Amino acid sequence: MTEPTRSAPPLSPENEAVIQLTRKDFVSDQEVRWCPGCGDYSILAQTQKIMPDFGYPKEKIVFISGIGCSGRLPYYMNTYGFHSIHGRAPTLATGLKAARPDLMVWVITGDGDALSIGGNHVLHSMRRNVDFTMVMFNNRIYGLTKGQASPTSEFGKRTKSTPLGSIDTPIMPLTVALAAEASFVARSVDTHTEHLQKTLERAGRHTGSSFVEVLQNCNIFNDGAWRDFTDREVRDDRMLVLEHGQPMIFGKDRDRGIRLRGLHPEVVQLGNGVTEDDLLVHDEQALEPYLALILSRMFWPDFPVPVGVLRAVPRPTHDQLIADQIRTAVASGGEGDLERALNSGETWTVD
Amino acid sequence: MTTTHEDRELEIRELERVTIRFAGDSGDGMQLTGTQFTRTAAVFGNDISTLPDFPAEIRAPAGSLPGVSGFQISFSSADIHTPGDEPDVLVAMNPAALKTNVGDLPAGGALIVNSDAFGAQNLSKAAYATNPLTDGSLKQYSVFEIPISTLNERALDGLDMTSKQKDLTKNFFALGIMFWLYERSMDPTLRWIDDKFKARPVIAEANKRALKAGYAFGETTELFHTHYRVKPAKLAPGRYRNITGNEATALGFLAASKLADRPLFYGSYPITPASDILHQLSGYKQFGVKTFQAEDEIAAIGAAIGASYGGALGLTASSGPGIALKSEALGLAVMVELPLVVVDVQRAGPSTGMPTKTEQADLLQVLFGRNSDSPVAVVAPATPAECFDLAIEAWRIALKFVTPVVYLSDAFLATGAEPWRIPDLSELPGIRVETWTDRATFQPYERDPATLARRWAVPGTPGLEHRVGGLEKADISGNVSYDPDNHHRMQLLRQEKIARIAHDIAELEVMGPERGDLLILGWGSTYGAIRSAVERLQAEGQAVAHAQLRYLNPLPRNTEDVLRSYRRVLIPEVNLGQLLLLVRGRFLIDAIGYDRVRGKPFRIAEIYQEAERILAEDRP
Nearest CB among A58, A85, A88 relative to B465 is that of: A58
Is B247 found in the same domain as B213? no
Nearest to B372 by CA among B413, B327, B435: B327
B458 in any annotated domain:
no
Amino acid present at A88? R
CATH number of B200's domain: 3.40.920.10
Chain A residue closest in CA terms to B252:
A342
Inform me whether the pLDDT recorded for B378 exceeds 60: yes
Nearest CB among A94, A123, A343 relative to B306 is that of: A94
B63 touches chain A (CB under 8 A): no
Residues of A in contact with B234 (CB under 8 A): 350
Q: What distance in Å separates residue A248's CA from the closest CA in chain B?
A: 38
Is B208 found in the same domain as B338? no
Is B259 found in the same domain as B191? no
**Final residue belonging to a domain, choices B229, B249, B275:** B229
Residue-wise pLDDT for B353-375, tens only, equals 999 999 999 999 999 999 999 99
Residue B130 DSSP code? S
3-class DSSP state of B442: coil
Contacts of A74 (CB under 8 A, 6+ apart): A63, A64, A65, A81, A82, A83, A108, B467, B469
Nearest to B313 by CA among B435, B427, B453: B435
How far apart, in Å, are the Cα atoms of A150 and each of A142, A153, A169, A174, B364?
Answer: 6, 5, 10, 16, 36
Domain covering A13-246+282-337, topology: Rossmann fold (3.40.50)
B443 in any annotated domain:
no
Contact B346, B359 (CB under 8 A): yes
Nearest CB among B42, B423, B465 relative to A80 is that of: B465
What is the structure's pLDDT at A3?
A: 42
B47 in any annotated domain:
yes
Is B292 found in the same domain as B147? no
Contact flag B479-A330 (C-beta cutoff 8 Å)? no
- The string of DSSP codes covering A310-347 is EEE-----HHHHHHHHHHHHHHHH-S--HHHHHT-S-E
Is B341 found in the same domain as B247? yes
Per DSSP, chain A holds a count of helices (H) and strands (E) of 13, 12
CA–CA gap between residue A339 and residue B2 (Å, rounded) = 44
What is the structure's pLDDT at B165?
A: 92
Residue-wise pLDDT for B133-191, tens only, equals 999 999 999 999 999 999 999 999 999 999 999 999 999 999 999 999 999 999 999 99
Residue-wise pLDDT for B276-330, tens only, equals 999 999 999 999 999 999 999 999 999 999 999 999 999 999 999 999 999 999 9
Is B246 found in the same domain as B214? no
What is the structure's pLDDT at B167?
A: 93
Percent of chain B with pLDDT over 90: 93
Is B250 found in the same domain as B198? no
Burial A232-255 (b: 16+ CB within 10 A, else e): eeebbebbbbbeeeebbbbbeeee
Q: Which of B239, B465, B472, B482 to mutate to test the interface with A (most CBs of A within 10 A)?
A: B465
B307 touches chain A (CB under 8 A): yes
Q: What is the 3-state secondary structure (H, E, C) of A233-247?
A: CCHHHHEEECCCCCE
Nearest CB among B232, B285, B304 relative to A325 is that of: B285
Residue A298 DSSP code? -
Residues of A in contact with B328 (CB under 8 A): 85
How many other C-beta atoms lie within 10 A of the C-beta of residue B391? Answer: 27
Amino acid present at B290? K
Residue-wise pLDDT for B411-450, tens only, equals 999 999 999 999 999 999 999 999 999 999 899 999 999 9
Domain segments of chain A as ranges: 13-246+282-337, 247-280
Is B249 found in the same domain as B121? no
B59 in any annotated domain:
yes
Q: What distance in Å separates residue B175's CA from the closest CA in chain A?
A: 19
Please state the domain count of chain B: 3
* Lowest-confidence pick of A200-214, B219-233, B337-351, B485-499: B219-233
Query: Whole-number mean pLDDT of chain B?
Result: 95
**Final residue belonging to a domain, choices B395, B412, B427:** B427
Burial class (CB in 10 A: 0-12, 13-18, 19+), A221: buried
Burial class (CB in 10 A: 0-12, 13-18, 19+), A349: exposed
CA–CA gap between residue B267 and residue B196 (Å, rounded) = 30
Quote the Cα angle for A248-A252-A254, to 5°. Answer: 35
- What is the gyration radius of the CA atoms in chain B, in angstroms? 27
Q: Phi first, then psi: what are they for B408, rounded to 5°?
A: -100, 105
Is B214 found in the same domain as B260? no
Across residues B460-480, what is the average pLDDT?
97
B453 in any annotated domain:
no
Domain that holds residue B545: 516-618
Torsion over CA of B452, B457, B463 and B467, rounded to 10 degrees? 90
Q: State the number of CA atoms in the 13 A half-sphere of A85 facing the CB.
A: 20
Parallel/antiparallel/unpaired status of strands A61-65 and A80-83: parallel
What is the structure's pLDDT at B222?
A: 83
What is the structure's pLDDT at B27?
A: 84
What is the structure's pLDDT at A14?
A: 57
Contact flag A120-B296 (C-beta cutoff 8 Å)? yes
Tens-level pLDDT at each residue, chain A (351 residues): 344 445 455 445 556 666 689 999 999 999 999 999 999 999 999 999 999 999 999 999 999 999 999 999 999 999 999 999 999 999 999 999 999 999 999 999 999 999 999 999 999 999 999 999 999 999 999 999 999 999 999 999 999 999 999 999 999 999 999 999 999 999 999 999 999 999 999 999 999 999 999 999 999 999 999 999 999 999 999 999 999 999 999 999 999 999 999 999 999 999 999 999 999 999 999 999 999 999 999 999 999 999 999 999 999 999 999 999 999 999 999 999 999 999 998 899 998
Inform me whether the pLDDT recorded for B7 exceeds 90: no
B385 touches chain A (CB under 8 A): no
What is the structure's pLDDT at A11?
A: 45
B98 in any annotated domain:
yes
Residues of B in contact with A64 (CB under 8 A): 306
Element (H, E) at B308: helix B297-309
Is B379 found in the same domain as B278? yes
What is the structure's pLDDT at A2?
A: 42
CATH number of B539's domain: 3.40.50.920
**Confidence class for position B6, pLDDT limits 50, 70, 90:** low
Chain B residue closest in CA terms to A62:
B459
Which ipTM score applies to this complex? 0.96
List for chain A the helix, strand, coil content (%; round to 5): 35, 20, 40
pTM (two decimals): 0.95
Contact flag A99-B265 (C-beta cutoff 8 Å)? yes
CATH number of B322's domain: 3.40.50.970
Is B306 found in the same domain as B177? no
Scanning B51-155, the segments in alpha helix (DSSP H) are 95-101, 120-125, 148-155
Element (H, E) at B411: helix B411-415
B196 touches chain A (CB under 8 A): no
Is B255 found in the same domain as B175? no
3-class DSSP state of B120: helix
Residue-wise pLDDT for B555-593, tens only, equals 999 999 999 999 999 999 999 999 999 999 999 999 999
Contact B53, B70 (CB under 8 A): yes
**Final residue belonging to a domain, choices B402, B427, B452:** B427
* Inter-chain CB pairs, A–B, below 8 Å: 210
